[in-house]
Structure 1
Amino acid sequence: MIQLKIVVSGKVQGVGYRYYAQMKAIQFGITGWVRNLEDGGVEILASGLRESLDQFIDEIRRGNPFSTVDHVEVTEQENTETYKSFAIKY
């Protein structure tokens, strides 16, 4: 299992982006969480198999019809926690 920290910037708050990320994570068997950041971006912690994570990142870059993704920063990190599902953090 690989764990990634993903920071997404653009018009990604108030447009259902976290729900979109959750739906795509479930579709690709990704576990972890998504949350809004104070600067208007979204942070995602995603764990899964490389192929699934690559597909997930492609969808995250695309965004939902109401969002505009300007930049996606992906950082691989040490897998310190294990998640059983993909949650939206409030």
Structure 2
Amino acid sequence: MFPLPEHISSAAKSQLESQLQIFSTLTSKVFESAEKIIALNLNAGKAALSQTAETAQQLLVTQDPRDFFSYSSSQARPNIESVLAYSR
């Protein structure tokens, strides 16, 4: 290959340092964004799990089959809306 000159001009060094700084800044922004997305996903998962547990508990104590199906269907619509809102 081509041998690198032993002395790199100060302009080239400055350019390289500038590019490394930009790369570092972009990388940190990507990681910050990934952390936020992960936190949002965890919070959404916790909320969904909590809602599911609450619904299951309510269905377990229901005695009448009509009440069971009525409660099930009443919970379906908000859950579907929640999933659609999350996907947006």
> Shorter-chain TM-score category?
under 0.3
Q: TM-score, normalised by structure 2?
A: 0.27
Structure (1 or 2) with the larger CA radius of gyration: 2
More helix by share: 2
More strand by share: 1
Bigger relative CO (Cα 8 Å, ≥ 6 apart) = 1
